[in-house]
Chain A
Amino acid sequence: MDLIPCLVVSGYLGAGKTTLINRFLADPHGVRAVVLINDFGKVNIDSHLIENASENTIELSNGCACCSIGDNLLRAAHLAAQRQPRPDLIVVEASGVARPDRIATLLLGAAGLADAQIVTVVDVSQTRAALADKYISHLFLHQIAVAHWLAPNRETPDSDELLHRLNGRAHNGGHRIKTLTQVMDKLLCLPKNDGRAPKAAMLAPGDDNQPVDEFAAQTVTIPDGTAHDIVTAWLSALPEHIHRVKGFARLCNSDGGLALYSLSKTRAQVRLELTTASIPVDVVGQIVLIAPVSLGWDHLKFPIPWVSAP
């Protein structure tokens, strides 16, 4: 079975880890992510998104879930990996003083998780103060040194110079990103990891200038009453480059009846499920596809007549 990709979101206190995670949870682009966090108090989720909440878990209507780490990250990660349906991605919020590489190693102890990649959030406006602070400067630099991805926050006029210096310290790549979605796009496109590959194979150490692929959303309309089987065939046939498809459509069953379906495709996994969710009328039939911009929309020829270019 595929290992579940995993992200560790690191950064010193107040860097903006929760903000980055909140923004992702509000719009996960169809990815079914489980987010492990230290404290529910800080998660800011629109109440209409919350489907179910218990002491240790909040289920969201967009398929994601937030789970509390409590004092046992290994156990929380183990439980997250066992969830049904199986998550597409696990995101772990590290505590402010944690060494994210140690957390990544710890997470290898949870069966089913791929080698974690590290996103370090940097509050640029606090960087000079952090570098001058004898108690935290080493930790601050260490969190950057092991980061595969750097998410700068609260940028200042001299951000570029500072970030350039910090990038020089990041021996795992330290590609700059704005949102977790950017990392996810990259991660979910990665070749399958058989779990035995060394860490370096996950992502070649990039240089500072290597651009991160931009992804764009395109919308496809599926008219009411389209046959269920045709949509299934279409979803299965979509090129792998289009790694995420998500939406709702009113489809025709084999017995001729109309019903509302939730449909999605993440990597090679197609899901087409009956749903009773109340979906606004103008959203039904609008299917969002996300593909790398570099691929070019023109290259995507769908053998389906009702695909409309935006």
Chain B
Amino acid sequence: MSRHVAPHRLAGALDAREQRHLDGCSRCATALQRVQTARLGLAAAASVEGAELSPAAEARAEASIRWTRIPPSVPVRRPFLVGLGLAAAAAAAVVVWNAREPQRSAYASTAPTPAPHRVAAPAPRPDRLEALVTLIGGDVEVARGDTPARKLTVETRLGAPDRLITAGNARAAAQWSEGSGFLLSGDSELLLARLEPHTQRLELERGQISVRVGPHEPGESLHVITPDHVVSVHGTWFTVASAQHVTTVEVLEGTVEVTNRDGSSSTMLTAPARATFGRGRSASTPRSGRQAARLRAEAEMNFLPWPGLDAARAASGALVVGSQPPAELAVDGIVLGATPLTVRRPLGNHYVELTRADFRTLHQWVTVGREPSELHAALVHAPPAQETESAPVEIESMVRRRAAQIRACYERRLKRDPQLAGTVSLRLRVGDAGQVTRVDVEQSTLPDPLVADCLRHEAAGWSFAQGRNATVVYPFVFRTQ
């Protein structure tokens, strides 16, 4: 290379020796031509007059000005705002918990909510969003303005300024767009202050809420407001807990901004992290991926595919599940909480499991139609010792060993259909020698039949050390993360 001219030298004036070299070296001549083109590109960049700003940019600037409060001379730990109008879409979840404090909870119900001093409010859009109730457990009431509270049902359309009140141990989930909605826990009160396509503002007056936010458009914003802090979501996933004027934030994905209600300071947190704010102090600690996964699992809200509110309503139905004694309900492998529960699920067959310690797990296929379907079960007491000896344990260990192959059956087809999800039940006949002699697809809710075929072939090669001369039905639940 020393025989050639260094590229950065080509950008300047060349001496006679370099010029002679260039005359006889096609490699350097090509390099020179490229460098000259790049220099012309730099000159073109210097001539740029700037891009024309859209009317939306003007509206956003106006909104920024409207909501700006000049903060007092308090050092701001992280001066730059990240995530305004992030085009990158991601899921977001917020869990907010408030201690019941009458003095503080009175705030949101009486005073007009001051906006956070930084609001990514885009151009206001007149149309409002409505939310579809996807899950109800226990007594939940909804009220709007001065109208008396009425009982919440899965048929209720929620919108601003609805107020939701849950009794102790009750819960309710609702969804307003693809992957976006909330889960309100027991003994909570929530005001849907704004529910618009570009701005969602949820005011938690007491209790606990989980919020998940699906793909965002640039400029879209969601704020969860507690008495002390404003938590802004911009394409991230995080949890927030607030009690006794201390706010704890756990960031699972992306970046989150936590702002004091008085606007005196603001902090950006990037996942995975856990931080506490309050009483003039803050501290943060890193979080593990496992802890983040646990928090995500706890925030399950039974979301539906979302072609729109009316289409989602038309394509789903109510499923009422009760049990004696109360048990943990899982539908299609998704744990939704303790019975009694009313959930919305897509029309069709679903695999329901009711689980309670010391009771035999109930597995049941149910069909969800346009009329509400009901399942009421009495669970059979079964000491744990008996369950460990039963055949399903043997099968479960086999399934665990063959997990990669089973997953591959699903993931191969998932590439063609990213929304592919459902349950496949296989009926296995185990012969004298413990070999699987026959495999049938008992039932499948997967739209792609090749997954069930692949599973059938996979299971046909299994051999069990125990469980000879038996027939076992085993469900496989597939869903994307």
Tell whether A pairs with B.
Answer: no
Chain A residues with CB under 8 Å of chain B are none
